[in-house]
């Protein structure tokens, strides 16, 4: 006679007739828990099962509205802790079905074996299996199928929720600050929800964007920390009455919801990793701010990011930090200080290459900080921000933009003509059907109607998208708007206290090259200048943006050299 040894992980402690049992009752969603049907039914059936076997019910663990795809469940963890005590508080865990315990096959087997080592067994009243190898295999197949079914249900549920969002309905969770949830209609027994603007909180959102764009009383754009500090100091609380933090301000300034496009399905619910934009569902909601304001703030945040610009270039006190370079070696010009015999402190812009490597690295140039700052500001005010000069700089790029707009408008007109023709043909077909000329049962007629309707809808959709694209490039720039922009920009270059507004300077000048103690070249990109002009919308100098590093708008060196003729 031979005997087969059983592996330790297959050992199961037999359940005695006087076993102490723990009941585990679970439903997946809070709505199921509120209906008060499934959990009472599970309790009734499990208690009856225990009674028929003479088991004592030692404890009951109820999980109202938690998924079984992971172990982040309070009642579940409390039950496992009690089962793993020495000695265990009970010797058997009874569930209605294995899917109530876990819908992840690997995790299911992990916990079953963990419990078995401490003398606790898992029993399903609807899937009663033995302890032999065949029963273990059947249990594993069942739990694997439960996992597959859970993933399939999740996929179909997510697809339905994505479509619900695309139709403009709210899927649940708390509304973003500035909005509130309202009933939008009823479909069968289900009440559809949507978002509407909350007038009180929406004003806080608009205030935060105004501070990011122009600061308090137009003193210059503010960063995240400065905005949060100002809100807290002025006793402007969050929706819950708490204090503002950098994270909350950043979320408001980066959420597309505020321009009317709430994004659903942006992250994986398990890993929290971002999903590609192609998987996002866009839900249309009432806008609180304009797209121009939003895009301008995004460029500002990107410009202030340490990945794009060193922190000192954003938050430091030096005006030209990050944009001032030595024309000889291309290295950055950094701040250096010195003190005279009388104790007076002097500040200079000095070539960083020379400071690190000496004269062999670069002959180096040193310029008094105040003198260079004044010269750059004066040159921008008197030469660059002149309407005639701006018009000359923008002439070619505006001409190309106008040509592009003209071509797109011709394309829109063609699309609208195609949609109108398709609509007219459909009307003639409908009239022929009403007059009895055509037989509605003809299958080719249905195909023709569907073809014309598809052509009409596609042409209209393409036309709407093309018009939207044209509108996004901003208003037309005229000599009048150039004069208004130049006037507002010159005013905003200097703060009320006499200091310089660094963010406004960098919007129109992205690189300052020091050639000698008497010559400085100011460079920038025409495209960035156009974006600044567009964002300004006439007189509002919203001069924020992520600047490039390639010089573009320096048309002639002699016209941008300091000092002017």
Asked whether the beta carbons of 63 and 75 are under 8 A apart, the reply is yes
Peptide bond into 401 cis (omega under 30): no
Within 8 A by CB and 6+ apart from 368, the residues are 346, 347, 348, 349
Q: Which long-range contacts (CB under 8 A, 24 or more apart) does 172-178 make?
A: 176/255, 176/257, 176/258, 176/262, 177/201, 177/204, 177/205, 177/238, 177/239, 177/252, 178/202, 178/204, 178/205, 178/252, 178/257, 178/258, 178/288
* Three-class DSSP category at 378: helix
Within 8 A by CB and 6+ apart from 250, the residues are 224, 301
C-alpha 425, offset from chain centre = 44
Q: State yes or no: is 28 an active-site residue.
A: yes
* Three-class DSSP category at 261: strand
The continuous run of DSSP H or E covering 40 comes out as helix 38-52
Q: Catalytic one among 28, 150, 300, 481?
A: 28
Phi, psi of 145 (to 5 degrees): -65, -40
Within 8 A by CB and 6+ apart from 191, the residues are 183, 185
Count Cβ atoms below 10 Å from residue 144 Cβ, excluding itself: 15
Asked whether the beta carbons of 78 and 61 are under 8 A apart, the reply is yes
Query: For the purposes of burial, counting CB atoms within 10 Å of the CB of 428, is it exposed (0-12), middle (13-18) or buried (19 or more)?
Result: exposed
Within 8 A by CB and 6+ apart from 449, the residues are 426, 429
Beta-strand relationship, 366-368 and 345-351? antiparallel
Rounded to whole angstroms, how far apart are CA atoms 22 and 40? 16
* Three-class DSSP category at 293: helix
Angle between helix 387-434 and 443-472 (nearest 10): 170
C-alpha 42, offset from chain centre = 41
Catalytic residues: 28
């Amino acid at each position: 006679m031979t005997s087969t040894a059983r592996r330790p992980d297959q050992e199961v402690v037999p359940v005695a007739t006087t076993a102490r049992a723990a009941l585990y009752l679970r439903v997946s969603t809070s709505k199921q828990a509120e209906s008060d049907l499934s959990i009472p039914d599970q309790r009734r059936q499990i208690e009856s099962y225990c009674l028929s076997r003479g088991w004592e019910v030692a404890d009951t663990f109820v999980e109202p509205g938690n998924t079984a795809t992971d172990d982040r469940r309070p009642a579940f963890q409390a039950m496992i802790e009690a089962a793993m005590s020495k000695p265990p508080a009970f010797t058997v865990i009874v569930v209605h079905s294995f899917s109530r315990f876990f819908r992840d096959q690997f995790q299911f087997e992990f916990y079953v074996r963990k419990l078995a080592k401490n003398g606790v067994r898992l029993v399903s009243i609807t899937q009663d299996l033995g302890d032999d190898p065949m029963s273990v295999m059947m249990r594993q197949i069942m739990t694997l199928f439960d996992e597959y079914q859970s993933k399939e249900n999740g996929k179909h549920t997510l697809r339905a929720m994505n479509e619900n969002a695309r139709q403009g309905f709210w899927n649940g969770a708390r509304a973003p600050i500035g909005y509130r949830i309202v009933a939008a209609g009823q479909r069968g027994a289900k009440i559809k929800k949507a978002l509407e603007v909350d007038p009180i909180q929406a004003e806080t959102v608009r205030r935060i964007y105004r501070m990011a764009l122009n600061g308090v009383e137009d003193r210059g754009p503010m960063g995240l920390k400065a905005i949060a500090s100002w809100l807290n100091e002025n006793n402007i609380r969050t929706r819950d009455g708490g204090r503002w933090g950098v994270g909350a301000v950043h979320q408001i300034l980066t959420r597309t919801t505020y321009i009317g496009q709430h994004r659903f399905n942006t992250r994986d619910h398990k890993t929290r990793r971002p999903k590609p934009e192609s998987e996002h569902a866009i839900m249309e909601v009432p806008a609180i701010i304009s797209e121009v304001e939003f895009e301008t703030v995004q460029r500002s945040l990107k410009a202030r990011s340490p990945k794009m610009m060193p922190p000192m270039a954003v938050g430091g006190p030096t005006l030209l930090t990050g944009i001032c370079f030595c024309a000889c070696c291309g290295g950055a010009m950094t701040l250096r200080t010195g003190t005279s015999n009388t104790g007076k402190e002097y500040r200079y812009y000095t070539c960083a290459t020379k400071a690190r490597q000496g004269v062999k690295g670069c002959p180096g140039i040193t310029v008094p900080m105040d003198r260079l700052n004044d010269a750059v500001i004066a040159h921008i005010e008197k030469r660059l921000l002149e309407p005639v000069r701006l018009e000359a700089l923008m002439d070619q790029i505006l001409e190309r933009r106008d040509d592009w707009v003209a071509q797109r408008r011709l394309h829109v007109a063609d699309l609208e003509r195609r949609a109108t023709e398709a609509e007219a043909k459909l009307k003639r077909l409908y009239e022929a059907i009403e007059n009895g000329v055509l037989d509605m049962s003809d299958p080719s007629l249905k195909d023709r109607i569907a073809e014309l309707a598809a052509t009409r809808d596609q042409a209209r959709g393409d036309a709407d998208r093309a018009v939207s694209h044209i509108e996004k490039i901003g208003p037309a720039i005229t000599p009048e708007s150039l004069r208004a922009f130049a006037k507002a920009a010159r005013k905003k270059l200097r703060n009320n206290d006499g200091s310089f507004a660094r963010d406004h300077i960098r919007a129109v000048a992205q690189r300052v090259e020091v050639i000698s103690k008497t010559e400085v070249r100011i460079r920038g990109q025409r495209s960035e200048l156009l974006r600044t002009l567009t964002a300004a919308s006439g007189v509002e100098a919203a001069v924020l943006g992520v600047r490039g590093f390639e010089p573009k708008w320096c048309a002639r060196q002699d016209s941008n050299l300091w000092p002017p003729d």
